[in-house]
Structure 1
Amino acid sequence: MTEARLPRGSVFLVEDEVMIRMMVADMLEELGFSVAAEAGEINEAIRLAQSTHFDFAILDVNVNGKVISPVAEVIKARNRPFIFATGYGSSGLPEEYRDRPALQKPFQLETLAKIIDAALKSATV
């Protein structure tokens, strides 16, 4: 019998590549998080960022060729932590958010866990 884990929190996930979004959602669930909402397009992400309850977000920097900044602004205004996911390295982050945690794609489960823990710890300080 497997031991039941208490949920660690809920995540808002923005990623335009469906297969990557599914993979990250699986990784989050493996780490004990639930996915509160998912978006693959900027306008949908803005709407969900405004209306969905979540503990933190993971944001793809480039969503269908559009920069994620409008979504990050909504989440920042709600005082929720967020992590960027990018294939471009930290130089690919929007300039005003270069101090935020970033995952370099592709990433492993252990790296995701470490970035989430760091982001959540810094948000509670």
Structure 2
Amino acid sequence: MMNSKLLPGLKILVVEDEYVIARELSEALERHGAKVLGPVATLDAAMAQLSANEDLAGAVLDIKLHGSQAYTLAEMLRGRGVPFLFATGYDRQEIAPDFRDVPHCEKPVDVRTIIATLAREMERRTLSSQE
């Protein structure tokens, strides 16, 4: 059985404009111990969450948000060293070249895969910062 507390108390930002996906993902993250910020459906709301939460541990981003794209947010997360992944309908070739190295889960999403991928990215980031 998977450890139910993969993300104990960690603040995870969920940026997704499809309500059902956002809710399902948020509930799954909470079951794994995360404190979910959002979910938010717009770039402006995501930027506000980023500004208000210095201790953000990770993020799950949809790329296309009501006509905007989340690359500006992704750049800011990268600059702060916050691990994130894309949960998107785009395949890897459709992702902007600067972000093709970012883990991505293609829609329709499997929340277990998203959580496992995010936990792995966060662990990888922690290990590399300890070296």
TM-score by length of 1: 0.85
Secondary structure at 1:103 match in 2 = strand
C-alpha distance in 2 between matches for 1:12 and 1:73: 15
Segments of structure 1 that go 5 or more residues without pairing to the other structure are none
Query: Hey, what does 2:103 align to over in structure 1?
Result: 101
Shift of the 104–8 alpha-carbon distance from structure 1 to 2, 3 Å rule, reads: farther
Map Cα deviations across residues 63-113 of structure 1 (whole Å, 9 max, x no partner). Answer: 112111111122122221111111122123222111011111122233123
Match of residue 61, structure 1, among 54, 63, 71 = 63
Superposed displacement of residue 32, structure 1:
2.1
Tell me, yes or no, if the aligned pair for 1:61 and 1:92 is still in contact at 8 Å.
no
Tell me, yes or no, if the aligned pair for 2:87 and 2:114 is still in contact at 8 Å.
no
Aligned pairs (5 A) from 1:53-92? 53-92=55-94
Tell me, yes or no, if the aligned pair for 1:50 and 1:75 is still in contact at 8 Å.
no
Quote the sequence identity (%): 27
Secondary structure at 2:38 match in 1 = strand
RMSD: 2.0
Aligned pairs, number = 122
Segments of structure 2 that go 5 or more residues without pairing to the other structure are none
Shift of the 69–109 alpha-carbon distance from structure 1 to 2, 3 Å rule, reads: closer
Aligned pairs (5 A) from 1:14-25? 14-25=15-26
Superposed displacement of residue 8, structure 1:
4.8
C-alpha distance in 2 between matches for 1:109 and 1:37: 16
Secondary structure at 1:83 match in 2 = strand
C-alpha distance in 2 between matches for 1:95 and 1:80: 19
* More moved, 103-112 vs 16-25: 103-112
Tell me, yes or no, if the aligned pair for 2:87 and 2:109 is still in contact at 8 Å.
no
- Amino acid in the other structure paired with 2:51: Q
